[in-house]
Structure 1
Amino acid sequence: MILLSFDIEEFDMPFEYGKDISFDEQIEISTRGTIHILDILKKHQVKATFFSTVVFAENAPAIIRRIIDEGHELASHGYYHSDFEVSHLLSSKEALEKLSGTSVKGFRMARMKPVDETEVYKAGYEYNSSLNPTFLPGRYNNLNKPRTYYKESNLLQIPASVSPLLRFPLFWLSFHNLPLGFYKWLSIKTYKKDGYLNIYFHPWEFTDLDQDKFGFPSYVRKNTGDKMITRFDEFIKSLKEKQLTFGRFSDFIKQISVAK
């Protein structure tokens, strides 16, 4: 099963590069990008999982409604994108459930930072997808962690996918910078080895990013906006042509439970 997921949040990434952006624009950019994503998923009749902060959900209720109405899964990305307290694990879950009218089963920490698995379990989640099991200087050093799903502290861990050899990460940045044909090849190899593929993206990737305004380096901006929409559309189309299945995290959990 191919697990597509999207971290929908207030677009505060420019702050990391010393640039300012108003709150209204943060929400507008994330909303616009999520609409592009939903349109592509609807075109291909593919279901996915959206990890949302409460702040974004409260300020984009129509987007949350569309996510639910079109059969996607809503999970928690915390209460705020740039602030975290352990209490936010439970409060974000409860707030998102109230806003959406659905059960929130999964959690992903903002920026894939470490999070206490015991606390995630205590807050009532069934799974956590906050781990990128690779090494990226200054960001991740998780080569000692399992590469595929496992249980820890009674909680199902579903790491982001990395290649079987060398643990090359298949996250959003790779999608932008690798030739699409090579990225598809790596994805299919990983899918065949592991039996599933877990890759994640952000709404702002599907919008035009002004370099002067946001200060992002070229490797972040590469193939964003219209190019990203085209590449993502082609990616889903080509994998569907290979008869590969797509699903939500909740679908995947049911699948592996049955397999046991």
Structure 2
Amino acid sequence: MILLSFDIEEFDMPFEYGKTISFEDQLSVSTEGTLRILALLKQHQVKATFYCTANYALNKPDIIAEIVKDGHEIASHGYYHSDFKVEHLRQSKEALENLTSQKVTGYRMARMMPVDEKEIYAAGYMYNSSINPTYLPGRYNNLHRPRTWFYQDQVLQLPSSVTPFVRFPLFWLTFHNLPMVLIKWMCQQTYRKDGYLNLYFHPWEFTDLDQPARFNFPGYVVKNSGEAFVKRINNLIIWGKSKNYIFATTQEFIQKNNK
């Protein structure tokens, strides 16, 4: 299975690069990208998982309703993207369940940061997808963690996919900066080894990020953003379907593997 997932949050990344952005603009950028994602998924009749912050969802209930209407899974991305308290685990789950009238079983910590699995379990989640099992200076050092899914403290852990050789991350920045032919080759090698791919992106990647005065992002972030990124993910989906790979929500994958 190919598990496409999208982290919907208030777009606060410009703050990391010394820029300010109003809350209204944060919501607007994320919404613009989400609508492009939904159109692309609908075009290919593909289902995915959307990890949403409660803060975004409560301010954009119409977008959440559209995601649910299209048959996608809603999971939690915390209450706020730049603030975390343990009580947010349960609070975000409850807020999303109230909005969607569906059970929320999955969690992903903002920026893939560590989180206490015992607290994840206590808050009522079935799975956690908050591990990038690779080494990235200044961000992750998870070479000691399992590369594929495993259980910890009664919670299923679903790390982001990395290649079986050298643990090269198949995450969002990879899809911006490497040639698609190389990306698809690495995805194929990983799929053959693991039997699935767990890929994550953000709606704001599907908007024009090459605005230095507004965002101040480095070149490796803005490369192939906006329409170019829509085309890249479109290319990925067409390739996956040509290989007869099944696209599914994370919950569908877990149900299959828990049988």
Q: Which TM-score applies when normalising by structure 1?
A: 0.98
**1:117-132 paired onto structure 2 within 5 Å:** 117-132=117-132
Other-structure match for 1:55: 55
Deviations 1:4-61 (A, max 9, x none): 0000000000000000100000000000000000000000000000000001101111
Unmatched 5+ residue regions in structure 1?
none
Report matched runs for 1:91-240 at 5 Å: 91-209=91-209, 210-240=211-241
State the SS of the aligned residue for 1:47.
coil
How far is the alpha carbon of 1:92 from its aligned partner?
Answer: 0.4
The size of the alignment, in residue pairs, is 258
Give the drift of 1:241: 1.2
5 Å matches for 1:34-113?
34-113=34-113
Q: Point out 4+ residue stretches in structure 1 off by more than 4 angstroms.
A: none
Q: Deviations over 1:177-218 (max 9, x none)?
A: 010110011011101100110010000000011122101000
Please provide the CA RMSD for this pair: 0.5
Q: CA deviation at 1:242?
A: 1.2
Question: What secondary structure is seen at the aligned counterpart in 1 of 2:258?
Answer: helix
Instruction: Give the C-alpha shift of residue 100 in structure 1.
Output: 1.0
Secondary structure class of the residue paired with 1:188: helix
Which residue of the partner structure matches residue 12 of structure 1? 12
Q: Which runs of 5+ in 2 are unaligned?
A: none
Aligned sequence identity (%) = 60
1:243 aligns with 2:244: yes
Instruction: Write the distance in 2 (CA, Å) between the matches of 1:135 and 1:24.
Output: 34
Deviations 1:89-111 (A, max 9, x none): 00000011001111100000000
SS at match of 1:213: coil
